Chains A and B, each alone.
Chain A
Amino acid sequence: MKNRGWLFQIPALAILSISAFIPLMTVINYSLHYIFAGSAPTFVGFDNYIEVLRDPAFQGALIRQLFFSMGILAVEVPLGICIALSMPRRGPAVALCLVLLGIPLLIPFNVVGIIARVLTQSSVGLIPEFLALVNYDFNVSKYPVDAFATIFLLDVWHWTPLVALLCYAGLQAIPDAFYQAARIDGASSWKMFRYVTLPKLRSVLIIGVLLRFMDSFKIYAEPLLLTGGGPGDATTFLSLHVARKAESYQLGYAGASSFIYLFIVIVFSYVFFQLMTHIGKGENQ
């Protein structure tokens, strides 16, 4: 063997196989069998997959999930860019802004969920109290819209700073000459943003969109802690739906839906990546 480098990869591969490969294989194995509690599994082929895809509860969770994730991207990405653009480029205020933006990122998911629960609890929470002043009856355990909006805004508050920080770093890396040249070329501020800033932010935006898409697609702790997926199934996103099935020992169903779930994340991430690397690159010969 000429190259012994692969030796060094053994520990990493070993850990990866335990943490990812073996569980994944187990999930695939489950998904092809009918298993209930401790009874012996029966091979059922793709029956579980068909059941999952036909299940209105799964379809509902998937649609809710897509609606949520697309909404998150539509709000967090433009908002993050705006925040980054309005941040000071130098001076002592930079540090202050970075700290302020960093605070939400430091708070773990479960804590965020608990904060939300405390804030929104009827009769003691701050938010229902304030909204009562404008005669709005805010109740996350009663009204689906309230619960969904709470989770949505929570995610925006929690993760927009990430997009903003990525964009800010990207902005700092754009040489001044580009703006000076655009000014000399007579470009308006919108054109400068459209043809200088945005193309230069492309690579950080790709990372930002992918991270936010994948993370929001996995949202779990916040809805679980806020309302446990309710009221009804208003905040039952895919991960909650799958986990609930696993908790009720429907391992075949849970395995099949997990696998479909994984497949959807990969397909969407791939599509986003392709779109963003090719969009607006100018036509080629």
Chain B
Amino acid sequence: MARIELEGISHSYDSSSKPEDQREYAVSGLDISWPDGSANALLGPSGCGKTTILNIISGLLYPTAGRVRVNGKDVTGLAPRERKIAQVFQFPVVYDSMNVFDNLAFPLRNQKTPEKTVKTKVEETAEVLGLADRLKFRTTGLNAADKQKISLGRSIVREDTAAVLLDEPLTVIDPKFKGELRRKLREVQNRLKKTMIYVTHDQHEALTFADNVTIVKDGRLIQKGSPEELHAQPATPFIGYFIGSPGMNLLDCRLEANRLQFADFELPIGQDMKEKMASYGKDFKFGIRPEFLDVAAEEKNRAVAFTVAVIEDTGAYRVLTCDRESSRIKTRVTESINIREGDRVWLEFPEDKVNLFYNEQRIV
């Protein structure tokens, strides 16, 4: 197992004959380090450069600039096989002419491992994956989730595997098996403590799998942290909105004497906050998560009146879309307050739950 590091990685798909300042970069200036044995996720919207990063780590792509290190050793120029980085692809890859056992044994046999060791290793791996009872089965009859387990199995069966890259491994899995496979991936990581990097555009998959989430947008790293950090302290309004369901409410506001002035309402603020904000400027983006808003059906001091436009019931909680003249806010209510569409509600914004962004960067 190993520590994976990216150092100043940039990549452009333009030909090298193009002048440097005219090239378009798919990813640029990435410095990321994934510690040994960690469960990581690389999260970003489609087209943000995730696949490029993945191919650079696995060695299928040679970066325009920067180095890739495994345990401190520079592997930038090495082929995938020499890096010992395994990959689980979007589509489950199994060798259909072999049974489950032979599939798992394939990487070991390619290394000319003695058959006795192969047997023990394969049985161990199958046990971890929950495939032990199906070793003699044909792969053609298995469902996509089990095939995906075999793909994963082939990457962990070799002891020298430095890291496993999982490239959107749940995309083609039946919803019925998605949850089970996701838990299995997490469990395997926990048990074996192999460095894994899970690439996805699905925040739910990323947050449930990883201890450490890296968010990439437009080829740049914008935040790296635990799921809790990303949730509570998003570095930019984009992350605030991207993480969480529904995403963070974001409103433009202006700092006035002792309050924040919004388009059609205002909020008082404390002295500390005001001083901190004043040092930046006047125009801010105000962010608050839907679940942190206090909702009341009766008028309350310091609360702002909104009209409920839409109620979406998810079963576990309800999402209210609340409108004022030009502001719209979503909130999440768990308890069954009696509210119907068209009713008035009063929303309170707890100051300690508020995020403020200046120039797209979080300041509070």
Interface residues of A (CB under 8 A from B): 175, 177-178, 180-181, 183-188, 191, 195-196, 198-200, 280-285
Contact = CB atoms under 8 A, between A and B. Distances in A.
24 contacts: A177-B93, A178-B93, A180-B60, A180-B80, A180-B89, A181-B87, A181-B151, A183-B79, A183-B81, A184-B86, A184-B87, A185-B154, A187-B110, A191-B110, A195-B95, A196-B95, A198-B97, A199-B96, A281-B138, A282-B96, A282-B99, A283-B99, A283-B136, A283-B138
Contact of A184 (B80, B90, B95, B99): B80
Nearest to B83: A184
Nearest to B110: A186
Contacts of B58: 184
In the complex, which range does the number of interface residues on chain B fall in?
20 to 34
Given A177-B93, A186-B111, A191-B110, A282 B98 contact: yes
Interface in B79-128: 79-81, 85-87, 89-91, 93, 95-99, 102, 106-107, 110-111
A199 B97 contact: yes
A11 to B, nearest CB: 39
Contacts of B155: 184
Contacts of A181: 87, 89, 93, 151, 154
A255 B139 CA distance: 48
B137 interface: yes
B208 interface: no
Interface of B: 58, 60, 79-81, 85-87, 89-91, 93, 95-99, 102, 106-107, 110-111, 136-140, 151, 154-155
Nearest to B90: A177
Contacts of B98: 195, 282
Contacts of A191: 110
Contacts of B139: 282
A237 to B, nearest CB: 35
Q: Which of B58, B95, B96 has the most chain A CB atoms closer than 10 A to its own CB?
A: B95
B91 A184 contact: no
Contacts of B151: 181
- With most chain B CB atoms within 10 A of its CB, the pick from A175, A185, A280 is A185
Nearest to A280: B97
A285 B60 CA distance: 37
A184 B97 contact: no
Contacts of A195: 95, 97-98, 106
A169 to B, nearest CB: 19
Q: Which of B81, B86, B97 counts the most chain A CB atoms within 10 A?
A: B97
A186 B261 CA distance: 63
A281 B80 CA distance: 29
A281 B81 contact: no
A128 B29 CA distance: 70
A275 to B, nearest CB: 14
B137 A185 contact: no
Nearest to A175: B91
B349 to A, nearest CB: 48
Nearest to A285: B136
Contacts of B111: 186
Nearest to B136: A285
A284 B137 contact: yes
B89 A177 contact: yes
